Homo-oligomer: A and B are copies of this chain.
Amino acid sequence: MRDVAIVGIGQTPVREHWDRGLRDLAVEAILAAMDDAHIRRADALFVGNMLSGTLGFQEHLGALIAEYAGLEGIEAVKVEAACGSAAAALRQAVLAVQSGQVDVAIAVGVEKLTELASKCTTNALAMAADADYEAVMGLSFVAINALLMRRYMYEYRVNKEDFAAFTVNAHANAQHNPFAMFRMPITREQYAAAKMIADPINLLDSSPVSDGAAAVVVAAADKAWEFSEAPVRVAACEVGTDTVALDNRENPLWLKGVERSARRAYQKAGISPQEIGVYEVHDAFSIMAALSLEASGLAEPGTAVRLANEGEITPQGRIPIATMGGLKGRGHPVGATGLYQVVECVLQLRGQAPAAVQVPDVQYAMAQNIGGSGATVITTILERLTK
């Protein structure tokens, strides 16, 4: 099997980009990644996106983005797995290079959520859930996560206030990331006073509706040094799935999709969870950060909130998460998020993270991108390469 590396990264700031279109954002990220890899051409483009059809009246993003990025003619396709779309696009790029059919592939994730009123966005995001058995009942995505959080608090006797640790860490880190949407700290007091959205989820448990794009260039590892002074090996990029509807799961507090994806990734990379130096977690809501830590084997069931409150998730802790802000602080342009996570892991491995959040001597960084409430999970383990 051909070994694969990331040899270029690019990202746009995460913002409400009212003045820019989806294709502008995608092209900016792609060109930045291509510059970073010192290339002018690529063989294939994989576009991760969830909602361009519903919110932007545009499907067919593969050919469209290829054209506007100056890559007309190349293989191009859109990949969708709800909020896991970007990492799913990376997975296709990795497979394409590993197959030997493609030498240089670009994966880009892009989302423009501020096209329409926020009511439309909320409805559109519910398409990550089961339309016939969840959304049809009026369950929005935040409501689904509220059910999970309430159940977690009940089963594990955890207080609502204790979840603050995730938000405080995310915002503390986002401060230092110029691409982040919310570059200000949040205190526990602010968290406790935040407006309730869907009890027990409050505003500061929730990642924001955002626009943005992030991209990486993928090439065969044995050519990686031709492109980059600091290539990063893709030690694993593995997909696991679970039922889409929560009520089809034996234990809703155990994210089997995360477990499947993470286990496959550890096995492929040949490492144990303890060797992960940075973990870019899919903290769309605080509860997802807790459940992900547990199902990934980084905390015992029911202990993730305690772990967070013991300071172990900060850049100085045992398992740093959301080191550039996570979905909560950096922002969550859904179909782009998975590649923001990967770009951030690459920066950590290169030693190019902002000083205040740089984790020293990271050998393995893990990005975990989730579609729906754990139904599609892509876990990517990246490894520092030395010449």
Contacts and interface: CB of A to CB of B under 8 A. Distances in A.
Identical copies of this chain, number = 2
A28 to B, nearest CB: 17
Given A59-B50, A60-B128, A98-B100, A72 B21 contact: no
Interface stretch (A158-166, A195-203, A368-376): A368-376
B100 A80 contact: no
A77 B76 contact: no
Given A53-B51, A99-B95, A128-B59, A77 B73 contact: no
A297 to B, nearest CB: 17
A266 to B, nearest CB: 16
A1 interface: yes
A63 B99 contact: no
A260 interface: yes
A182 to B, nearest CB: 26
B80 A127 contact: no
B81 A80 contact: no
A55 to B, nearest CB: 10
A341 to B, nearest CB: 17
Contacts of A75: 91, 238-241
Ranked 9 nearest A-B pairs via Cβ: A98-B99, A58-B131, A75-B239, A59-B127, A63-B375, A60-B82, A78-B80, A63-B241, A99-B99
30 contacts: A1-B99, A2-B99, A53-B53, A57-B123, A58-B132, A59-B128, A60-B81, A60-B82, A60-B128, A60-B129, A60-B375, A62-B88, A63-B241, A63-B244, A63-B372, A63-B375, A63-B376, A64-B130, A67-B243, A67-B375, A72-B242, A73-B240, A73-B242, A73-B260, A75-B241, A76-B239, A76-B241, A76-B376, A77-B376, A92-B95
Interface of A: 1-2, 21, 23, 44, 50-51, 53-54, 56-64, 66-67, 72-82, 88, 91-92, 94-96, 98-102, 123-124, 126-132, 135, 238-244, 248, 256-257, 260, 371-372, 375-376
